[in-house]
Amino acid sequence: MKKALTAGILLIAIESMIGTIFPQALSYEAIFGVASLVLVGLAIITSGLAVSGSDQRANYHSETKEGRTSRMKMAAAFFVAAIPSILCYLLTILF
């Protein structure tokens, strides 16, 4: 999780640079918001939360325990990487 958090912090540094380079074209809210939505969306997709109950049951029975664990770790890493962008998005909206 430390690597995912570090990647998230690097991502907000890159997002801040993009916002500084293109101040008229992109707002900080848009940059942080889009990055947050993309990372949370990837976490939802990789975790399997966006499937129906019957699909989830079929995936559970056809998937190995190691595969399920690695998929959940990947989803958690995407979500942890999204946390800094979400916090920056909230800070730009509130202040």
Q: What's the pLDDT at 25? A: 87
Burial classification of residue 34, based on how many CB atoms lie within 10 Å of its CB (0-12 exposed, 13-18 middle, 19 or more buried): middle
Q: List the end-to-end C-alpha distance of the chain, in Å, as a whole number.
A: 29
Residue 84's pLDDT is what?
A: 97
Give the Cβ contact number of residue 78 at 10 Å: 22
Instruction: Report yes or no: 78 and 4 within 8 Å, Cβ to Cβ.
Output: yes
Look up the pTM and report it.
0.88
Block means of pLDDT (10 residues each) for the chain, 95 residues, are 95 93 90 96 93 88 93 96 96 91
Record the tokens describing residue 30, joined without a space: 């848009």
| pLDDT value of residue 60 | 86
Q: Which residue, 70, 15, 80, is CA-closest to 48?
A: 70
